Amino acid sequence: MATMTYRQALRDTLRDEMLRDENVFVMGEEIGVFEGSYKITEGLLKEFGPKRVRDTPIAEEGFVGAAIGAAMLGLRPVVEIMTINFSLLALDQIVNHAAKIYGMFGGQCSVPMVIRTPGGGGQQLGATHSQNVELFYSFIPGLKVLAPSTPAEASSMLRAAIRDDDPVLFLENLALYNTRGEVPDDLEPAEIGRAAVTRSGTDVTIVAYSRMAHVAAEAAEKLATEGINAEIVDLRSLRPLDRETVVESVRRTGCAVVAEDDWLTYGIGAEIAATIQEGAFDWLDAPVRRVAMAEVPLPYSKPLELAALPSAESLVTAVRDTVRATGR
């Protein structure tokens, strides 16, 4: 068992998978000589050479398309897109090709590729560099969308994504890169599509993912001092979505609050709320509440940016109000 950062867990897992399978290679902007904007690929060019660590032009549509072709021919590319905002330039390749090829070709050809990309606000990067647009991709059948929140999850889920025969979008919130946690030495690939109950509770279920799973943990500690025992479900996978674990938790607690690091309207939280409505309506003692960021392009100003993002305080307030509404 080693304690390491989220960043180091990703880097070590990439290296392990490249050593395990010679068909695995990485590509993206400045990932070789510069070792990546976030240093996830540090040292890989020196160890594996330019054939397996490939710097690309600033042309997301082009190099994502090249990765799709490589995957169709039997390789396992891991593409780093510098930020999820830039993935929009490759939307056609991801949505109309990577996600569709297996089905359109009747299963004759798979696309075993991973697209790693960070997102999220709080870094004063401005409105066009601070988005979480995972909803776009979670909407698309044929893609798998993962959002690990801890170093151990980052390692086990990246391992699973690389070995999977379907295209996987692997989301890394920028705020998580320097977070630390224990990573077992013998960590096995995760089961894609399985959520985790990371804290047991009896009074309310908080459903979250990625950075908001940490915010949920902080809120749960505060709520515990007020006598509210919150259970936390970390989704980990947005497609496929583990509806069963969410519903089972809400049936135990009787109420739910969904927290997401994105806009409220049409969001992941809306899908979770609908899932709870369909699967646990008779067990609900209060309406499902959602906590999300303000519906604005994220400001550059630090005070305004923090005001727009969902916080532990806003989540505590929502949970407190939800539990009070039950009349317990």
Of 17, 35, 129, 153, the active-site residue reads: 129
| Spatial separation of the C-alpha atoms in residues 236 and 146, rounded to whole Å | 6
CA atoms within 13 A on the CB side of 288: 26
Beta bridge partners of 146: 170, 237
Taking CA atoms, 262 is separated from 33, 43, 184, 196, in Å, by 33, 34, 31, 21
With both helix axes pointing from N to C terminus, report the angle between 151-163 and 6-20 in degrees, rounded to the nearest 10. Answer: 30
Of 17, 60, 134, 305, the active-site residue reads: 60
Element (H, E) at 259: strand 256-263
Whether residue 214 lies in the annotated active site: no
89 CA to centre of own chain? 20
| Spatial separation of the C-alpha atoms in residues 160 and 168, rounded to whole Å | 10
| Spatial separation of the C-alpha atoms in residues 307 and 218, rounded to whole Å | 17
Whether residue 313 lies in the annotated active site: no
For residue 303, with 0-12 CB atoms within 10 Å meaning exposed, 13-18 middle and 19 or more buried, which class applies? exposed
Cβ contact 93:69 at 8 Å: no
Catalytic residues, which ones?
Answer: 60, 129
